[in-house]
């Protein structure tokens, strides 16, 4: 037990000491007319999943869900082409990442990850009393694997396509990580559908690889909180143990399974649209003299000086995008989620107004 301490406001804290370095995650997202910050599916919810949600029997709410989401695992197994015992589900992929850190890291162990990457990784590491080691990516936007491996991580985190850059990891980098990492390799493929590329096939050759996926992005189900991971059965079982039973609610589990069984044409159509419009948005930004990074996800990352001020000015125009100040090798950047062209036109009009006003003042 840790000795009670006092926080900055003078209140007593009984939490484990590692929590002193854990902020409450709160990106202060005030409601805004057009929100292009979170890379969800801005076309809406897949239709069969929506019907399943609306037509649910009351027992789906009054009774407990299955312990470990057997129905959804079956559907996911079909989708990714593995057996159901190679899948673990979670309350969003956040839950999988958090549970994996608990399962595979002893307190004090290292979680290593590239910088920049998914902002929750250092937070999950600290929440689980692990030490986070961030290693600045190479100028090519690939992870610096030498630096990452030098930290001897119990968990090595990689993200492909990476958030926030949109960069696809070279397959050789993933293969080398699997050969040389001392512990578990977490490969976050939250945006894989938009890249059309996955490394899930590598789980057949590695007992240390956990590929983490989500239904929050391409499938349009972020509010249902459905994440999953693919790995060899023993690895998956360890995450399942650390995650615990009943973590998926029954309504969400069923709607997600229906989406996988019946809504694939909808999902594929909207992934294709997102890819087309991502390129159209990148062209429009290039035409304005900016140099967006090549993206394989459903967002565009574009260097824009004074991105925090620009982000605030865009908000005043009713449009939210995510600023990332001072990214290594890149500088100030805006990340813009891709949605229907009407939304992106609205963003571009606001962006033009903001940039013109900044040039003339």
Which residues does residue 335 pair with via DSSP β-bridges, in sequence order? 301, 322
What is the C-alpha separation between 344 and 342, in angstroms, rounded?
6
- Burial of 65-103, coded b for 16+ CB within 10 Å and e otherwise, reads beebbebbbbbbbebbebebebbbbbbbbbbbbbbbbbb
Question: Out of 163, 206, 232, 298, which residue is the one contacting ligand PMP (CB under 6 A)?
Answer: 163
Position 128 contacts ligand PMP (CB under 6 A): no
* Nearest residue to ligand PMP, by Cβ distance, number only: 92
Inter-residue contact 338 to 300 (CB < 8 Å): yes
SS3 category, 112? strand
Binding mask 2-41 for ligand PMP (x = CB under 6 A): -------------------------------------x--
Closest approach of ligand PMP to the CB of residue 194, in Å:
12
DSSP single-letter state for residue 129: T
Segment interacting with ligand PMP, rule: CB under 6 A, options 53-61, 92-100, 196-204, 329-337: 92-100
Contact mark string toward ligand PMP, 38..77, x via CB under 6 A: -x--------------------------------------
Contact string (CB under 6 A) for ligand PMP, positions 249-288, x = contact: ----------------------------------------
Using CB under 6 A as the binding rule, the residues of this chain from 211 to 250 that contact ligand PMP are 214, 216, 222, 227
Q: Is 165 in the site for ligand PMP (CB under 6 A)?
A: no
Of 190, 194, 202, 187, give the one whose Cα is nearest residue 114: 187
Q: Is cis: bond before 161, omega within 30 of 0?
A: yes
Q: Is 142 in the site for ligand PMP (CB under 6 A)?
A: no
Q: How far is CA 326 from the centre of its chain?
A: 21
Per CB under 6 A, 92 contacts ligand PMP: yes
Q: How many residues bind ligand PMP (CB under 6 A)?
A: 13
Report H helices in 154-210.
171-180, 192-195
Q: Which residues bind ligand PMP (CB under 6 A)?
A: 39, 92-94, 118, 159, 163, 188, 190, 214, 216, 222, 227
């Amino acid at each position: 037990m840790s000795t009670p301490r006092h926080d900055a406001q003078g209140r007593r804290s009984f939490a484990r000491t590692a929590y002193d370095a854990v902020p409450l995650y709160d990106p202060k997202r005030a409601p805004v007319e057009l929100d292009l910050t979170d890379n969800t599916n801005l076309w809406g919810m897949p239709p069969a999943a929506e019907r399943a949600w609306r037509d649910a029997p009351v027992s789906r709410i009054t009774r407990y869900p299955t312990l470990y989401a057997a129905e959804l695992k079956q559907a996911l197994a079909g989708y990714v082409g593995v057996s159901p015992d190679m899948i673990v589900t979670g309350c969003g992929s956040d839950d999988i990442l958090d549970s994996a850190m608990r399962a595979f890291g002893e307190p004090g162990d290292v979680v290593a990850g590239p910088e920049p990457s998914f902002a929750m990784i250092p937070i999950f590491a600290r929440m689980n009393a692990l030490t986070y080691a961030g290693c600045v990516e190479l100028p090519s936007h690939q992870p610096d694997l030498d630096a990452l491996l030098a930290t001897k991580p119990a968990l090595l985190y990689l993200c492909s396509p990476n958030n926030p850059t949109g960069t696809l990891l070279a397959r050789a980098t993933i293969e080398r990580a699997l050969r040389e990492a001392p512990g578990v390799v977490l490969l976050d493929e939250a945006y894989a559908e938009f890249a059309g590329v996955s490394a899930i096939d590598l789980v057949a050759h590695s007992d240390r690889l956990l590929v983490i996926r989500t239904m929050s992005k391409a499938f349009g189900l972020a509010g249902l909180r459905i994440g999953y991971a693919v790995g060899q059965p023993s690895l998956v079982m360890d995450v399942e143990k650390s995650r615990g039973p009943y973590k998926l609610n029954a309504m969400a589990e069923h709607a997600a399974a229906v989406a996988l069984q019946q809504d694939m044409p909808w999902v594929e159509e909207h992934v294709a649209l997102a890819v087309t419009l991502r390129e159209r948005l990148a062209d429009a930004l290039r035409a304005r003299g900016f140099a967006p990074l090549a993206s394989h996800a459903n967002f565009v990352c574009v260097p824009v000086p004074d991105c925090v001020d620009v982000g605030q000015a865009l908000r005043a125009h009713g449009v939210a995008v995510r600023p990332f100040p001072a990214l290594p090798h890149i500088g100030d950047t805006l990340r813009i989620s891709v949605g229907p062209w009407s939304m992106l036109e609205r963003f571009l009009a606001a962006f033009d107004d903001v940039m013109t006003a900044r040039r003339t003042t």
